[in-house]
A and B are shown apart, each in its own frame.
Chain A
Amino acid sequence: MKMTRKRLISFVALVLAILLGTFALDNLLPVLGVTPAVYLPDLAQTYVTTFVGLFIEAAPFLLLGSIAAGLITVFVTPDDMARVIPRNKYLATAMGALIGMIFPVCECGVVPVVRRLYQKGLPTSVGIAFILGAPVLNPVVIASTYAAFGFSTIFWARIGFTFLVALGVGLVFTVQPDLLKVVRPTTLMPVMGGSSDMIPAGSIKIETFATRLQRSFGVAADEFFDMGRYLVIGSLIATTLQTLIPQQVLVSIGNSPVTSVIALCALAFVLSVCSTVDAFIALSFVNTFTSGSIIAFLVFGPMVDIKSTLMFLGVFRRKVVVYLFVLPLLAAILIGLVINLNVGW
């Protein structure tokens, strides 16, 4: 009880410190003649406004996603998740893609979770559908996609096509039910003391709710920094493209029905921005690129990128990782091309 009151006081103190700090920055320092401000020429100013704007819009969603990841890591066991999966192989695969709606995990959190699910005995196809579907089919990502695009064609297309691709690729793996042929041997060995949700040996104690909450916030803080740096890099690149590259160049690539799709799929792979906020990166291109390419970006990016490929290699055999890269890529390109050339959204 004493600890909780101390924490409450500290929280209030921190909030007061922030308020005081803001007041000082805005009011006292200028009076003292100290205005910490960097005045920039116009183009640089535009660059900074665009970059900071991206960060301001995206950060709250990244924070919410981090909190969700932290809570899931500490409070949800693989058993809880496995309980929700139906018996039937095909329904189970579909459920695997949708599990993120109940237990939201970010792109980065997906791989450690699937490892634990496999250790619990979940079928191959369910794990695959989960890896590809959960990064998009969860409340935080849906909310940020709505914030960026509203209830538009792009919004619904992202959700619908992600589900179809995750389900499709998952079903492909039903032909190989033998998990040992799909994952690396180390995947199925229980991890000793290293994973975040296991209490370190030697300090076995009954954890109070408050302590577990604190631990989940600690995980959330680490997640925020892990994912935040990709957001910063992605934002810098998107801002550079939008501010420093001549409009004509962007338009000539962006308006072409085929090149635009290839370009944005390549960008999605390289950028590795977390799916909670990649909608805002995509938004930077909404005025210059075709809808098909943006949808391809939003579907392919969360499934496969440099960061997640590296994580896949830690869990799956190399041949499988190739499938996990090629199948979603082909699907995304196909979707983008059909939308641009046939449907004309």
Chain B
Amino acid sequence: MWKHMNRLETILKAVILGGLGLMFYSKITDGTLSFYINQRFAWLSFVAVLILSALALTLVYRLIEARGRGEGEEHEHTHGVSWGGVGIMAIPLLLGLLVPARPLGASAVNSRGIGLSAPQRAGSITQAQRAVTGPKNILDWLRDFAQNPDPAAFNGQAVDVIGFVYRDPRNAAEQIWVSRFAITCCVADASAVGLLVQTGQAAAFTNDSWIHVTGKLMAGQFAGESVPVIIPDKIDPAQQPDNPYLYP
């Protein structure tokens, strides 16, 4: 009875290890890895695939060798892991493989909140890596705002940003957020940042839809404070970028 338990357990472990390797590899190849972690850690996931494969293989050998020995199977080195203890590792496996990858969006903003302060954290992508070509993104603008507390200083400056729509109870009737998530390491530290957009068609936009906003900045009102707000010339629907997060 105990021998059967060990064999079954080892088979289960080998399947889970192989399956986790599969999960990591599939996320690397279909590009959704960036939905979960900072791109600079992608190589770690590849290392994970290699190690998981090696461990799965080791367990397969253990099974083959045990079968070869037949009845005289030696006492296996176990920590007394039970079915439940092993099965629990199937949770990330099943969720990772079966639930389609989708980046954090409006629903996550509901849980975490959104703000105008750009997260500052050591260890993020260095300045050199952040090639500033093209229009400033939301994070760039928020950093500028932090440097200069006078919202009127930005009046008239041209803005060209992409983000997803979010409506906040604090928003005025004709105001929406255009937002992105900023992450340093992985979704664990993701925080939502955005710019405010003043538009008469605010009601027409649904949360989570991606938009491309071009316009000019003007000092406006939000939650009782004076902050720079975008007066848009154009708001077009946009494609969710391959890499939906911003890195501070």
Contact = CB atoms under 8 A, between A and B. Distances in A.
Contacts of A59: 20, 24, 48, 92
B68 interface: no
B17 to A, nearest CB: 7
B77 A196 contact: yes
B4 interface: no
B54 A217 contact: yes
Contact of B105 (A25, A42, A66, A226): A42
The residue among A49, A150, A224 with the most chain B CB atoms within 10 A of its own CB is A49
B74 A203 contact: yes
A67 interface: yes
A14 B17 CA distance: 12
Contact of B86 (A36, A148, A225): A225
A277 to B, nearest CB: 11
Contacts of B104: 46, 49-50
B138 to A, nearest CB: 17
Contact of A242 (B18, B56, B85, B111): B111
A225 B122 contact: no
The residue among A22, A149, A155 with the most chain B CB atoms within 10 A of its own CB is A22
Contact of A57 (B30, B74, B102, B185): B185
B108 interface: yes
Contacts of B47: 60, 63-64
A242 B36 contact: no
Nearest to A17: B18
A247 interface: yes
| Count class of interface residues, chain A | 35 or more
Interface in B53-81: 53-62, 74-75, 77-79, 81
Grouping DSSP codes into helix (H, G, I), strand (E, B) and loop, the A interface class, with mixed when no group exceeds half, is: helix
B106 A150 contact: no
A15 B59 contact: no
Contact of B98 (A38, A45, A155): A38
Interface in A61-108: 61, 63-64, 66-67
Nearest to B12: A225
B92 A52 contact: yes
A56 B185 CA distance: 11
Nearest to B94: A38
Nearest to A203: B74
Contacts of A146: 123
A283 B36 CA distance: 14
B33 interface: yes
Interface string B156-200: 000000000000000000000000000011111101000000000
B77 A14 contact: no
Given A60-B45, A150-B124, A238-B188, A226 B81 contact: yes
A236 B124 CA distance: 26
Grouping DSSP codes into helix (H, G, I), strand (E, B) and loop, the B interface class, with mixed when no group exceeds half, is: helix
A45 B187 contact: no
Contacts of A122: none
A276 to B, nearest CB: 13
A56 B189 contact: no
Nearest to B24: A56
Interface in B10-29: 13, 17-18, 20-22, 24-27, 29
A152 B107 CA distance: 30
Interface string B120-135: 0111100000000000
B92 A49 contact: no
Nearest to B47: A60
Contacts of A229: 85-86, 88-89
Contact of A26 (B29, B96, B184, B187): B29
A3 to B, nearest CB: 10
B219 to A, nearest CB: 28
A252 interface: no
B182 to A, nearest CB: 11
Given A150-B184, A221-B59, A232-B91, 15 more contacts: A10-B60, A10-B61, A22-B26, A22-B29, A26-B30, A38-B100, A42-B208, A54-B186, A56-B186, A57-B186, A155-B122, A196-B77, A217-B58, A243-B108, A287-B112
18 contacts: A14-B56, A26-B26, A37-B99, A45-B99, A46-B104, A51-B92, A53-B36, A146-B123, A148-B185, A148-B188, A149-B121, A152-B122, A221-B13, A222-B78, A224-B17, A228-B88, A284-B188, A287-B112
Interface of B: 13, 17-18, 20-22, 24-27, 29-30, 33, 35-37, 41, 44-45, 47-49, 51-62, 74-75, 77-79, 81, 85-86, 88-89, 91-92, 95-108, 110-113, 119, 121-124, 184-189, 191, 208
